Amino acid sequence: EPEVTQTPSHQVTQMGQEVILRCVPISNHLYFYWYRQILGQKVEFLVSFYNNEISEKSEIFDDQFSVERPDGSNFTLKIRSTKLEDSAMYFCASTRDLSQPQHFGDGTRLSIL
């Protein structure tokens, strides 16, 4: 069964550096999402992407964040000038249509030092 894959599984970065988290959604899916989960807290929506543009974003998704689908397969989340509070699990998800559940990747654990 096709899967959503995320790389790296764990990223350790110095505060102030930029990170790029990568996701390969399932190939015939059309809607893509990024979520994060800070340790001990709820899964939080960051951004959704459809038809090569952001369709919705949360208040967390400020100018520090950006997403791209550079080549039709990868879906990346860039975090500029990372802060300690950006440490979290970041999950990518995709779905073919909105009546179907989302398929999640295994997540990237981001640790900011």
Partner 1 sequence: ILNVEQSPQSLHVQEGDSTNFTCSFPSSNFYALHWYRWETAKSPEALFVMTLNGDEKKKGRISATLNTKEGYSYLYIKGSQPEDSATYLCAFYPGGSYIPTFGRGTSLIVHP
Contacting residues toward partner 1, per CB under 8 A: 4, 31, 41-45, 48, 56, 91, 98-107
Contact (CB, 8 A) for 36 and 44? yes
Indicate the residue among 59 and 85 with the shorter CB distance to partner 1: 59
Give the span between the Cα atoms of 11 and 13, in whole angstroms: 6
Q: What Cα–Cα distance (Å) separates residue 31 from each residue in 11, 27, 72, 95, 96?
A: 25, 11, 12, 5, 6
Closest approach, Cβ 30 to partner 1, in A, equals 11
Indicate the residue among 3 and 18 with the shorter CB distance to partner 1: 3
Indicate the residue among 82 and 94 with the shorter CB distance to partner 1: 94
**Phi, psi (rounded to 5 degrees) for 11:** -130, 125
Indicate the residue among 49 and 82 with the shorter CB distance to partner 1: 49
Contact (CB, 8 A) for 53 and 63? no
